[in-house]
Chain A
Amino acid sequence: MAFINLQNVTYKYPLTKGPVLQNINLQVREGEFVSVIGPNGAGKSTLCYALAGFVPHFFKGEFSGEIEVDGKQSSKSTLDEWVLNVGLAFQNPFNQISGAKYTVFEELAFGLENIGVPRDEMKVRVEEAMALTGISDLADRSPYSLSGGQQQRVALTSILVMRPRLLVLDEPTSQMDPIGTREVFGVVRRMAEQGMTVVMVEHKMEWIAEFADRVIALKEGQILMEGRPNEVLTSDLLTENGFGVSRYTSTAREAKKRGLWRKDHLPVTLDEAVEGFKK
């Protein structure tokens, strides 16, 4: 039995014309790290909102199909129960600062206070989570005084500290430098190895290839293809459908046309590219 199970999920926001998600069928097993890619307007964020319960509970609109996480059906749950199991962090870090707290430490405790975690446990969990994402030194800073990348780390940590069974991330590294991005992917990978299921929308293909278990390519609200990162990210289908690809993939594809790339598979990461060109 899959940990996440989407059956024929179709959804249309209120006041919009067509559906944003069409007939999505998706199964994810527990502890799997799945990455979702797709061009603008493909429905990636809506898929995140659907997994996190905000579609349809928060946005209303027309929803059909069934979303199941850990055996529970979204339609039969309420949002405040659903978020205990499913954590969501999204792109704009500024809007994820609660505003109700003066320091990063307090900010991270905000969610734990809301769900009634005892004080002593709260402190331990906040400190652990800060150590995990490398923001312990920001504990006493005001969340508003941080850089975009630091705020994104705080946003991610504020969800991790709640220990959801499913972690949904919508471009959580958009304002981070390559080092920060790599660290975040590393943290997420580690969480998956400890049994947390992760669905992450990203367009940084190199890191997806290196860390994710599976890639789902979304286009116009439908799943275009899915599979192992290397298969999906190097597929010609992606370029034909206007997806962005890693610069190493496009370089190697060009090289292949000119007979300079002799391996069967195209590379996604720098290492693979170097390896391929060496031969």
Chain B
Amino acid sequence: MLEKIKNNFNTQTWVLIPIAIAINIAVGQIVLVLKLPVFLDSIGTVMVAVLCGPWAGALTGALSNVIWGIAIDPGALPWWPVAAMIGYMAGRMAQWGFFKSWWKVVVTGFVVALTAAIVSTPIAVYLFGGITASGSSFITAYLLATGQGIWSAVVSTSFLTEPVDKITTAMIAFAIILGLPKRTIGGYPKAQQVETEGQTNNTQMYIAIGVVVLLVLFAAFMLRNILGG
């Protein structure tokens, strides 16, 4: 166990983590400026997870969240286990070979989203009674008002909002890794995990982007249904 944790961390991992945290936060802020309906605040976490391993990913996520909480939005602090789990799960998926082509990356993003939804639920329920300071709590509140139980209301909200964000995050992380010179990747502990299968072609990428667009439309449709009804 300890050996498995340790092999995530070489000097390049330690140098990458602060940069990844800064990427998380800086990109998260750019997204706020662009007013996009996603967070994209774990691109760095996913990169560390796939290049160095799940434990390094978890550490990056947790630290990122704490620093975001201290520096930008104090309300983010209690959510560090979610950020850690995102890193861990992305690392596990990469270990299982799910970071080698566009469609597999979409699957990874989806699994990470489900994990995030599951981990965030108890925090939302126990700490905040289901209603957090996030805008998506509006959906939770509506579901609660329609008589749904608190657990299912919180979980449904996350299932509606998380996949788009996490799949996009995984795809951007993949695009960045593909764009890096091969030589700069070789030194990370799990570099072989991102050795792509054959040629990653653009058709695949467009299909993946299509999936995300469909998800956005689906979420918008659901939202309209909920709020309209």
A interface residues with partner B (beta carbon < 8 Å)? 13-16, 58-60, 99
Contact = CB atoms under 8 A, between A and B. Distances in A.
B182 interface: yes
A16 B183 CA distance: 9
B18 interface: yes
The secondary structure that dominates the A interface is loop
Interface of B: 18, 182-183, 186-187
Given A15-B182, A16-B183, A60-B186, 6 more contacts: A13-B183, A14-B183, A14-B186, A15-B183, A59-B187, A99-B18
Nearest to A59: B187
A57 to B, nearest CB: 11
Contacts of A99: 18
Contacts of A15: 182-183, 186
A244 to B, nearest CB: 27
Contacts of A16: 183
Nearest to B183: A15
Closest 4 CB pairs of A and B: A15-B182, A14-B186, A15-B183, A15-B186
A14 B182 CA distance: 10
A125 B220 CA distance: 64
Nearest to B15: A99
Contacts of A60: 186
A58 B187 contact: yes
Contacts of A59: 187
Contacts of B187: 58-59
A51 B182 CA distance: 25
Contacts of B182: 15
A151 B92 CA distance: 40
A21 B69 CA distance: 49
A16 B186 CA distance: 12
A128 to B, nearest CB: 28
A99 to B, nearest CB: 7
Contacts of B183: 13-16
B13 to A, nearest CB: 14
Nearest to A16: B183
B90 to A, nearest CB: 25
Nearest to A60: B186
7 contacts: A14-B186, A15-B182, A16-B183, A58-B187, A59-B187, A60-B186, A99-B18
A41 to B, nearest CB: 15
B199 to A, nearest CB: 17
B182 to A, nearest CB: 5
A5 B80 CA distance: 53
A96 to B, nearest CB: 12
B146 to A, nearest CB: 51
A99 B186 CA distance: 23
Nearest to A13: B183
B109 to A, nearest CB: 28
A33 to B, nearest CB: 30
A57 B182 CA distance: 19
A114 to B, nearest CB: 12
Nearest to B10: A58
A58 B186 CA distance: 10
A58 B187 CA distance: 8
Nearest to B185: A15
B22 to A, nearest CB: 11
Contacts of A58: 187
A54 to B, nearest CB: 11
A15 B195 CA distance: 13
B210 to A, nearest CB: 33
A190 B187 CA distance: 37
Contacts of B18: 99
A174 to B, nearest CB: 22
Nearest to B182: A15
A100 to B, nearest CB: 9
A2 B78 CA distance: 61
Nearest to A14: B186
A240 B183 CA distance: 33
Nearest to A61: B186
A58 B10 CA distance: 10
A237 to B, nearest CB: 32
